[in-house]
Chain A
Amino acid sequence: MEAAAEPGNLAGVRHIILVLSGKGGVGKSTISTELALALRHAGKKVGILDVDLCGPSIPRMLRAQGRAVHQCDSGWVPVFVDQEQSISLMSVGFLLEKPDEAVVWRGPKKNALIKQFVSDVAWGQLDYLVVDTPPGTSDEHMATVDALRPYSPLGALVVTTPQAVSVGDVRRELTFCRKTGLRVVGLVENMSGFVCPHCAECTNVFSRGGGEELARHAGVPFLAGRAREWGAAPAGPAAGLRGGNGARAPSTPQRERQRGVHWMQAVPTGS
């Protein structure tokens, strides 16, 4: 399937945002999921494309493991994770026969699947397509940026934790964005602090300050005020970190609206 003359399967997608880091384990998938949920809460139709082929985390986070992917005339039908069909998802996780099966592929094979994910998934009409990526600056990232370039993505949300090891990798990711012409929408500092469920004291478990300093050094927006409350989300069971079991923190309509408001401010809707 080629996107050459026709707009193809991404024709109905208004905005594309990539979530990148360079560093592993900083919360890219968690933030991609939360972003999608917040956008849905703001009344948007959202798709999530999970291009982490070795470690696809999104199906579990949205409790969609084991769902089947169907074909239609335009290609693969993405999996809807909710009754209202406002969030759809495509991940290699759906294509594995056994969940513990390792995807042990070299670059060229990964590139080929990513191209298919971009051109052969029937996304339909979406307000936003959130693209979750694996750590690094390699095949998957180049393939994704190349395949999405004709559709002018809004840009990238870059995620870090405060510590120097993370910031070190993320600096290189910012260079990747610059070299590939990908605009950085903002930098999110995750896991800034852990709120003790016993005494509510917040401890900086992964050092502090790295994210803000990096944003300043690189001249990219630091999603600061919001970041400290949510994007620079305190980690921990009480503070709403999604991950382990796909369960969210006790969700209140107010919390959902707050998230929605923060993210709508952070993510430009463009023209």
Chain B
Amino acid sequence: MEEVPHDCPGAGSAQAGRGTSCQGCPNQRLCASGAGAAPDPAIEEIKEKMKTVKHKILVLSGKGGVGKSTFSAHLAHGLAEDENTQVALLDIDICGPSIPKIMGLEGEQFLEDNLGVMSVGFLLSSPDDAVIWRGPKKNGMIKQFLRDVDWGEVDYLVVDTPPGTSDEHLSIVQYLAATRIDGAVIITTPQEVSLQDVRKEISFCRKVKLPIIGVVENMSSFVCPNCKKESQIFPPTTGGAEVMCQDLKTPLLGRVPLDPHIGKSCDRGQSFMIDAPDSPATLAYRSIIQRIREFCRLHQPKEEQLVGS
């Protein structure tokens, strides 16, 4: 990966190759010639690779710490419970790759026969290793994940993303541009400080024409193990996800209560749905996963619906 100058305006920008910070950059001539504005050949290569991947679902938020990785992992587990369904989970949170831990995979690559996982976490030799990369290098890693990993025949590819609306999000949408992304599942918690960021994420999806499967409100409520009474750990002072979804005309896929066992299962790398099959949180997850399956089935292009199942 070549070094780009700190103030690189971006290969696709109008200033490419022409800005003052471009002086001395090894790519200056290339950018100035307008080659940077041409589509990346990797997009076509990725399109080829993705031909064997039936459904692609992005899990987004905008806000950090709302449970994207937890949800992505459990979505993958849930879809893979049918042993005839091939599931792949791709973690593109390059700086904070949580998926290996949550899937109990620190050190291995495959869980069950029908569930494959990829994350930059697997490429780091120590848990203290920091991935201190600027945007262009992160984008390169994402491109490699999509183009160079042999995904094989996959029914569902679930992509876990970092918080924000930046390089990783632009790249995943850009690199998958020539394929069809079924849609995005957007995770939030009930409080306004979360919804504030999630509205921006919804706006991002609309800008890049990414269909939205729906919103999941996580950590909706808390049931005290002592007195069994319910309380709101993150008060929905502005109406929570329900009001936001009504305002923005987006489906609310469901609400997941905060069960303290979820954190513990994730720490141990186990599926919470297997650990606690009767928890209201498990029931909520299962209902949401079913709705996602239905969305994918209903929105398949006609020719795919006729062939096969």
Contact = CB atoms under 8 A, between A and B. Distances in A.
Contacts of B306: none
B207 A172 contact: no
B132 A142 contact: yes
Interface string A150-188: 000000000001011100110111111001000000000
B132 A138 contact: yes
Interface residues of A, number: 65
Contacts of B132: 137-138, 141-142, 176, 179
B64 interface: yes
B197 interface: yes
B234 A203 contact: no
Contacts of B235: 237, 244-245
Q: Among A55, A161, A196, A199, find the residue whose CB has the most chain B CB atoms closer than 10 A.
A: A55
Nearest to B204: A102
A197 to B, nearest CB: 5
Given A137-B130, A237-B231, A245-B235, A106 B166 contact: yes
A75 interface: no
A45 interface: no
Interface in A37-65: 54-55, 57, 60-61
Interface stretch (B44-52, B93-101, B176-184): B93-101
A243 interface: yes
Contacts of A105: 166
Contact of A108 (B8, B65, B197, B267): B8
Given A23-B64, A136-B95, A205-B260, A106 B6 contact: no
A102 B207 contact: yes
Nearest to A176: B130
B108 interface: no
Contacts of A99: 196, 199
Given A60-B196, A196-B226, A196-B227, A138 B130 contact: no
A115 B199 CA distance: 27
A151 to B, nearest CB: 18
B193 interface: yes
Nearest to B268: A164
Contacts of A137: 95, 130-132
A240 to B, nearest CB: 13
Contact of A204 (B167, B232, B260): B260
Nearest to A199: B227
Contacts of B190: 244
Contacts of A104: 165-166, 169-170, 204, 207
B214 interface: no
Given A102-B200, A134-B164, A237-B235, A54 B128 contact: no
A99 B233 CA distance: 25
B153 to A, nearest CB: 31
Interface stretch (A24-32, A76-84, A221-229, A262-270): A24-32
A250 to B, nearest CB: 15
B96 A22 contact: yes
The 5 A-B pairs with the shortest beta carbon distances in the complex, nearest first, are A25-B65, A24-B64, A107-B135, A244-B191, A245-B237
Interface of A: 22-26, 29, 54-55, 57, 60-61, 99-112, 134-139, 141-143, 161, 163-165, 168-169, 171-176, 179, 194, 196-199, 201, 203-207, 235-237, 243-245, 247
8 contacts: A102-B165, A102-B204, A137-B132, A142-B134, A175-B130, A198-B227, A245-B192, A245-B237
Given A138-B95, A169-B98, 17 more contacts: A24-B163, A25-B163, A25-B189, A54-B165, A55-B62, A55-B64, A55-B196, A57-B196, A104-B204, A107-B166, A161-B65, A165-B266, A168-B101, A174-B128, A176-B130, A196-B222, A203-B226
